[in-house]
């Protein structure tokens, strides 16, 4: 007899896992109408079986299917699909490889794992004719991975820019709009379930870097390694930088930037001054957005909640629906296209952007001329300058935005500026996007 119900082994019953249970339970009829099969949560793996869980009060059957024994899912012949929302690299990677060896399809929200070991996991899936989908790993509820793989399959993507970490966008928005304190807002983001267990990976940009590695691998169709993404987080962003940025028409955003020019690629994550004329400058709170430029289509934007229980669960359960449809059609594991383009990393001399610089200098005749001459010698010219007295000891605060400059030239200028007597301190330096 043909299968009537697909049985899911759910790994993790935290923020996302709880959302997955809710959606599967509450959307049964819709899920059946779309797949023609029932979807049942058969077993749930957790770390601590005795932990009280609100979801067990709503659904009485949940308590009876919770286990702390991984093989109750992985080696259980009744389980068809593993939905992994427990996070981490170990033991999660081994669990997923075992699941695939057992012929079980996999849905995961785990960007850490997919950014580091995605290649190995996808190869194992192909060997075993299984699906692995990971839509929730990037930008929570926004279906951006499916858009890149399917929606842009006829186009060539040359640029992607993303606000892909909800925690840092929440922090920067509160700092910008309410003058809130960094540490206080980080605590709020943790309480709301946006931040990672160790929020260092959010604030230091690593979470966004993992997502940009996944986006650029799929978007540019070339295998991008996490250690090829240049990363800087937001812990050094000050209220002063945000205020001066605003004065000149910019909002500070933690931006993932991926560019592919003439087959050469650069990917970075860094706090960036985004000009108010660019749609990404108005993405606030925990919302995420990904800007994608395709040679044929031009500019596109994807916007939505990047974290949280139900938004993330929608992406997970949508992957589950696709998995079940593929099982029904007998095409599991056949839809994946491995990155097929040769990767060439762009040298710093070809990485162009505008730069925002804030420095403290001696307030005397000729200082600005000396700085601009030093920049001109390295092919850098200025677009905007703001100068005002700083403190009471004959110093000036100078804020400059350059025209497009090569990263190699900017790095040299920064070294030379540090050696100049008239420069007392370089307060900050940001990449600038938008406003061309
Ligand atoms: P979470 O709230 O910390 O929940 C983790 C769950 O996994 C808990 O139920 C925990 O068990 C269980 N678990 C952890 N380690 C385990 C182990 N070794 N063995 C068995 N069970 C284990 O995490 P989350 O926020 O739901 O995130 C889950 C995944 O989704 C992560 O990969 C995360 O990066 C990704 N993600 C999260 C969001 C979000 O908004 N939160 C958005 C997109 C992607 P106990 O309950 O017993 O502690
Ligand atoms: N900590 C992540 C964020 C969760 O803040 O975006 C979603 O991946």
**108-152 pLDDT tens trace:** 999 999 999 999 999 999 999 999 999 999 998 999 999 999 999
CATH for 248: 3.30.360.10
Residue 341 lies in a domain: no
What's residue 393's pLDDT?
Answer: 80
Is the same domain home to 265 and 368?
A: no
Residue 335 lies in a domain: no
pLDDT in tens, 183-230: 889 999 888 888 888 899 999 999 999 999 999 999 999 999 999 999
Query: At which residue do the structure tokens 């809130």 appear?
Result: 180
Sign of the CA dihedral running 149, 151, 157, 161: negative
Is the same domain home to 164 and 259?
A: yes
Is the same domain home to 150 and 250?
A: yes
Supply the DSSP symbol for 222. Answer: S
16 Cβ closer than 6 Å to some ligand 1 atom: yes
What is the number of structural domains in the chain?
3
C-alpha of residue 164 to centroid of ligand 2, in Å:
8
pLDDT in tens, 228-246: 999 999 999 999 999 999 9
294 Cβ closer than 6 Å to some ligand 2 atom: no
Is the same domain home to 404 and 325?
A: no
194: left (phi over 0), alpha (psi -120 to 50) or beta: alpha
The two structure tokens encoding residue 377: 């010698």
CATH for 364: 3.30.70.260
* C-beta neighbour count of 383 within 10 angstroms: 16
Helix (H, G, I), strand (E, B) or coil at 39: strand
pLDDT over 60 (residue 76): yes
**In b/e form, how buried is each residue of 40-73, taking b as 16+ CB within 10 angstroms?**
bbbbbbbeeeeeebebbeeeeebeebbbeebebb
Residue 340 lies in a domain: no
Is the same domain home to 193 and 112?
A: no
Domain that includes residue 60, residue range: 5-141+309-329
Is the same domain home to 154 and 176?
A: yes
Ligand nearest to the Cα of 54, by number: 1
CA pair distance 159, 212, nearest whole angstrom? 12
Residue 216 lies in a domain: yes
138 Cβ closer than 6 Å to some ligand 2 atom: no
10 Cβ closer than 6 Å to some ligand 1 atom: no
Is the same domain home to 313 and 360?
A: no
pLDDT in tens, 142-178: 999 999 999 999 999 999 999 999 999 999 999 999 9
Residue 64 lies in a domain: yes
Is the same domain home to 18 and 94?
A: yes
Residue ranges with strand state E in 58-130: 66-67, 81-84, 105-108
Residue nearest atom 1 in ligand 2 by C-alpha distance: 195
What's residue 198's pLDDT?
Answer: 86
C-alpha of residue 273 to centroid of ligand 1, in Å:
33
Residue 336 lies in a domain: no
Is the same domain home to 89 and 208?
A: no
pLDDT over 60 (residue 260): yes
What's residue 140's pLDDT?
Answer: 87
Is the same domain home to 181 and 273?
A: yes
Residues 6+ apart with CB under 8 A from 435: 249, 250, 275, 276, 277, 278, 354
CATH for 316: 3.40.50.720
The two structure tokens encoding residue 18: 């709880």
Residue 346 lies in a domain: no
Is the same domain home to 100 and 220?
A: no
What's residue 1's pLDDT?
Answer: 47
Domain boundary residue among 329, 363, 392?
329
Residue 109 lies in a domain: yes
Is the same domain home to 152 and 254?
A: yes
């Amino acid at each position: 007899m043909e299968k009537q119900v697909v049985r899911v082994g759910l790994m993790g019953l935290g923020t996302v896992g709880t959302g997955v249970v809710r959606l599967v339970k509450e959307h049964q009829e819709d899920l059946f109408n779309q797949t023609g099969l029932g979807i049942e949560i058969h077993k749930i793996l957790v770390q601590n079986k005795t932990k009280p869980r609100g979801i067990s009060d709503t659904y009485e059957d949940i308590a009876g299917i919770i286990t702390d024994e991984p093989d109750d899912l992985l080696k259980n012949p009744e389980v068809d699909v593993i939905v992994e929302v427990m996070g981490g690299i170990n033991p999660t990677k081994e669990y997923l490889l075992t699941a695939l060896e057992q012929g079980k399809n996999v849905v995961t929200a785990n960007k850490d794992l997919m950014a580091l070991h995605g290649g190995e996991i996808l190869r194992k899936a192909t060997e075993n004719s299984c699906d692995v989908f990971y839509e929730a790993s990037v930008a929570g509820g926004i279906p951006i991975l499916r858009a890149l793989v399917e929606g842009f399959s006829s186009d060539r993507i040359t640029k992607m820019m993303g606000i892909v970490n909800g925690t840092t966008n929440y922090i920067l928005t509160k700092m910008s709009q309410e003058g809130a304190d960094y540490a206080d807002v980080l605590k709020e983001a943790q309480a709301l379930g946006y931040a990672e267990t160790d929020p260092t990976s959010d604030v230091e940009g690593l979470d966004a870097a993992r997502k940009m590695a996944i986006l650029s691998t799929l978007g540019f169709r070339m295998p991008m390694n996490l250690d090829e993404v240049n990363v800087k987080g937001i812990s050094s962003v000050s209220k002063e930088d945000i205020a001066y940025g605003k004065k000149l028409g910019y909002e500070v955003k933690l931006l993932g930037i991926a560019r592919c020019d003439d087959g050469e690629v650069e990917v970075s994550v860094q706090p960036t001054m985004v000009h108010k004329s660019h749609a990404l400058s108005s993405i606030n709170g925990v919302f995420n957005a990904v800007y994608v430029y395709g040679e044929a289509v031009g500019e596109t934007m994807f916007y939505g909640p990047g974290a949280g229980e139900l938004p993330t669960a929608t992406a997970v359960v949508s992957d589950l629906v696709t998995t079940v449809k593929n099982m029904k059609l007998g095409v599991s594991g056949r839809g994946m296209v491995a990155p097929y383009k040769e990767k060439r990393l762009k040298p710093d001399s070809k990485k162009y952007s505008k730069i925002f610089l804030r420095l403290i200098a001696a307030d005397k005749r000729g200082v600005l001329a000396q700085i601009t001459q030093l920049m001109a010698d390295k092919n850098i010219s200025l677009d905007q300058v703001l100068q005002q007295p700083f403190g009471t000891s004959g110093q000036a605060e100078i804020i400059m935005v350059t025209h497009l400059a090569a990263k190699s030239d900017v790095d040299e200028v920064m070294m030379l500026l540090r050696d100049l007597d008239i420069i007392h301190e370089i307060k900050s330096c940001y990449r600038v996007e938008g406003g061309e």
